[in-house]
């Protein structure tokens, strides 16, 4: 079964207003630029949706960062290679996330970049799945860059997953109660 994160399903797809902002010429990203360092990460923090923030415990990550890995694998890996390490033709995004703040990172994803004819970073401005995961992808890359997240598919920190499962379970029980 797919892991369900009922509290975050909205984050998988960008809101219309976010899409509108990104599609606008000039890509006014300042409102989205929540560049942050991971040095002040709080082990108790559950909400790590801010771009660049992530939580790692025993090599496991928070659910949003995990979504960043999945989104990367699904939409970026075909060019940028496994685990963000780059390919023969597309750059290493782990290093890119060190050099670029979130605004610049997001601007490139949304607007694309033509290095030369045939070597093109496509624009993802009309891809709600990617746009909805910009922060998560950036968080995943920052975690990779800091050496906190290794190669391959990370696991999710159990208590965060359990909390969600408990919420889901309670919601389902409530529904069943109402039905009966």
Partner 1 sequence: MHLKMSCALAAAGLLAVTAATTHANDSLMELLENDDLWATQLGNYQGHRYSKLSDINRDNVNNLRPAWQFSTGVLRGHEGGPLYVGDGRLYIHTPFPNKVFALDLEEDGRVIWSYEPDQDSRVIPVMCCDTVNRGVAYADGKIFLNQADNTVVALNAEDGEVLWEVSNGDHTQGETMTMSPLVVHDKVIVGVSGGEYGIRGHLTAYDIETGEMAWRGYSQGPDSEVLIDPETTLMMGEPIGEADLGVTTWPDGEWERGGGAPWGWVTYDPELDLIYYGTGNPGTWNPDQRAIDGEPADNKWGITVFARDPNTGETKWVYQKVPFDEWDYDGVNENVLIDVEVDGENRKGLAIIDRTGFGFLMDRENGELITVEKFAPETNWATHYDMETGRPVLDEDYSPFTQGVDVNTTDICPTAMGAKNMQPSSFSPETGLMYAGINRICMNYEPFETDYVAGQPYVGATLTMMPAPVENGGMEGRMGSFIAWDPVAGEVVWEVDERFAVWSGALTTAGDLAFYGTLEGYVKAVDIENGEELWRFKTPSGIIGNVNTFRHEGKQYIAVLSGVGGWAGIGLAAGLEDPEEGLGAVGVFSALSDYTELGGVLTVFELPDS
Binding residues for partner 1 (CB under 8 A): 1-3, 59, 70, 73-75, 77-79, 81-83, 85-89, 92, 114, 116-120, 122, 127, 129, 147, 149-153
Min. distance of Cβ 178 from partner 1 in angstroms?
A: 28
Report DSSP letters for 102-164, one per residue: HHHHHHHHHH-EEEETTEEE---TT-HHHHHTHHHHHHHHHHHHTTSS-SSPPPBPHHHHHHH
Min. distance of Cβ 145 from partner 1 in angstroms?
A: 12
Nearer to partner 1, 28 or 87 (CB): 87
Contact 1, 165 (CB under 8 A): no
Q: What are phi and psi of 171, to 5 degrees?
A: -65, -40
Min. distance of Cβ 151 from partner 1 in angstroms?
A: 6
Nearer to partner 1, 12 or 41 (CB): 12
Nearer to partner 1, 52 or 81 (CB): 81
Min. distance of Cβ 131 from partner 1 in angstroms?
A: 13
Min. distance of Cβ 3 from partner 1 in angstroms?
A: 7
Nearer to partner 1, 99 or 176 (CB): 99
- Name the region of 47 (left: φ>0; alpha: ψ -120 to 50; beta: rest): beta
Residue with tokens 């670029």: 100
Nearer to partner 1, 10 or 28 (CB): 10
Structure tokens that stand for 174 in this block = 């409530």
DSSP 8-class letter at 38: S
């Amino acid at each position: 079964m797919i892991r369900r994160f009922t509290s975050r399903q909205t984050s998988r797809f960008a809101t219309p207003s976010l899409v509108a902002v990104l599609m606008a010429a000039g890509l006014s990203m300042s409102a989205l630029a929540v560049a942050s360092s991971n040095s002040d990460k709080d082990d108790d923090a559950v909400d790590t949706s801010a771009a660049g923030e992530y939580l790692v415990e025993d090599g496991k990550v928070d659910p949003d960062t995990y979504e960043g890995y999945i989104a990367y694998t699904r939409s970026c890996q075909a060019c940028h290679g496994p685990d963000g390490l780059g390919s023969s033709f597309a750059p290493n995004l782990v290093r890119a996330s060190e050099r670029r703040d979130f605004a610049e990172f997001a601007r490139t994803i949304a607007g694309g970049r033509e290095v030369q004819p045939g070597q093109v970073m496509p624009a993802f401005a009309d891809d709600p799945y990617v746009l909805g995961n910009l922060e998560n992808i950036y968080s995943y890359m920052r975690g990779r860059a800091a050496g906190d997240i290794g190669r391959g598919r990370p696991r999710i920190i159990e208590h965060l997953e359990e909390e969600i499962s408990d919420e889901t379970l309670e919601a389902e029980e409530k529904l069943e109660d109402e039905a009966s």
